[in-house]
Amino acid sequence: MAHLLQYVLNGLANGSMYALVALGIVVIYRGTNHLNFAQGEMALLATAGAWWINDKGVPLAAAILLAAAIAFIGGGVIEFGLIRPAGRKSPFAVVVVTIGLFQGLNSFTSLLFPKVGNGVKFGTLFPNKPADFFRLPGGAIWRYERIGVLVTVLVITGLLFALFQKTKVGLAMRMVANNPESAKLAGVPTNRILMMSWGLSAAIGAIGGALIGGINANINVSTMFGVFLLASAAATLGGLDSPLGAVVGGLSLGVIESLVSNYPKNWVASTYIGADTAIAVAFLIILVVLLVRPSGLFGSSRVERV
């Protein structure tokens, strides 16, 4: 039992980071129906920025917030300058632009911050000395840092829900996501709202990237690569247009990954299942879920216009 609890706790910490990046993906998908392949690399650039600001002597928390603010503006600029004009060409064009951004931003990060190209140490916001943990009944340990990450992600998720449900901007975002034409007729400046969606998504990504950097104690140009894949898988599992789905999907993906990579070795001395194949099993589970629910767990299946 202690093992089970331990694996779940570890999984929740990783899963919460997938959830945060997945939220970024969902915020954009809801607004524009586009999968942003550059989500991870946008977060990488912002995290590298946070490292740089921190390196100049600004406290880490402030550096991360500042980087998130800059990312907010950057996300808006990308939407305004690239995505929207590309959208006028064709939906395909947007896909190409985000894939181009994926490649461009990754190398841009190492051009702008050459040190990040080779990997740099990244600080953490939470106490992470060897003795910083709770011992839960049964013997499982819960490190403060993991608790901190989980709580941060849950708080951000809560704030995001409050934004969507309680504020006018959030209402406008839901309107644009659901029916852009009607939103326009109701007087919503849809373009500005889409810009804000991209900005919001980039800012969320920046915070997610910083948390990941903190847990890994390091960032480099390939940090976001795997995280983006897992986060997009999480978003798909939950349903690409559902923020709740992103969180549930992220957390469950983290837990599945942790359980699969640790458990079977206790049952069977399998040479084929282990830490590195856990992802494969996780993806298989997602595939099965998608076959049963093609729009994910919480996604709304839209009727296609013919």
Closer residue to another protein, CB minimum distance, 159 or 186:
186
Closer residue to another protein, CB minimum distance, 117 or 264:
117
Distance (Å, whole) CA 52 – CA 297:
39
Task: Tell me which of 143, 279, 297, 298 binds another protein, using CB under 8 A.
Answer: 279
Task: State the minimum distance, in angstroms, from the CB of residue 301 to another protein.
Answer: 10
Closer residue to another protein, CB minimum distance, 135 or 168:
168
Task: Tell me which of 111, 151, 155, 268 binds another protein, using CB under 8 A.
Answer: 111
Give a three-class secondary structure readout of 253-286.
Answer: HHHHHHHHHHCHHHHCCCCCCCHHHHHHHHHHHH
Task: Tell me which of 43, 97, 212, 224 binds another protein, using CB under 8 A.
Answer: 97
Q: Which of residues 218-257 bind another protein (CB under 8 A)?
A: 229, 232-233, 236, 240
Handedness of CA 39, 40, 45, 47 (dihedral sign): positive
Task: State the minimum distance, in angstroms, from the CB of residue 157 to another protein.
Answer: 19
Distance (Å, whole) CA 77 – CA 306:
33
Residue 93 binds another protein (CB under 8 A): yes
Q: Which of residues 129-168 bind another protein (CB under 8 A)?
A: 168
Residue 294 binds another protein (CB under 8 A): yes
Distance (Å, whole) CA 36 – CA 204:
14
Task: Tell me which of 20, 42, 65, 82 binds another protein, using CB under 8 A.
Answer: 82
Map tokens 């890994």 to a residue: 216
Residue 289 binds another protein (CB under 8 A): no
Task: Tell me which of 56, 57, 92, 137 binds another protein, using CB under 8 A.
Answer: 92
The contact pattern for another protein, residues 23-52, with x = CB under 8 A and - = no contact, is ------x----xx-----------------
* Residue in 69, 43, 22, 34 with CA at minimum distance from that of residue 194: 34
Residue 271 binds another protein (CB under 8 A): yes
Residue 280 binds another protein (CB under 8 A): yes
Residues binding another protein: what is the number (CB under 8 A)? 66
125 neighbors 63 (Cβ within 8 angstroms)? no
Closer residue to another protein, CB minimum distance, 145 or 241:
241
Task: State the minimum distance, in angstroms, from the CB of residue 122 to another protein.
Answer: 20
Task: Tell me which of 62, 96, 151, 217 binds another protein, using CB under 8 A.
Answer: 96
Q: Which of residues 180-199 bind another protein (CB under 8 A)?
A: 181-189
Interface ranges with another protein (CB under 8 A):
29, 34-35, 82, 85-86, 89-90, 92-93, 95-97, 99-108, 110-111, 114, 117, 168, 171-172, 174-175, 177-179, 181-189, 229, 232-233, 236, 240, 271-272, 276-277, 279-280, 283, 286-287, 290-291, 294-296, 300, 304, 306
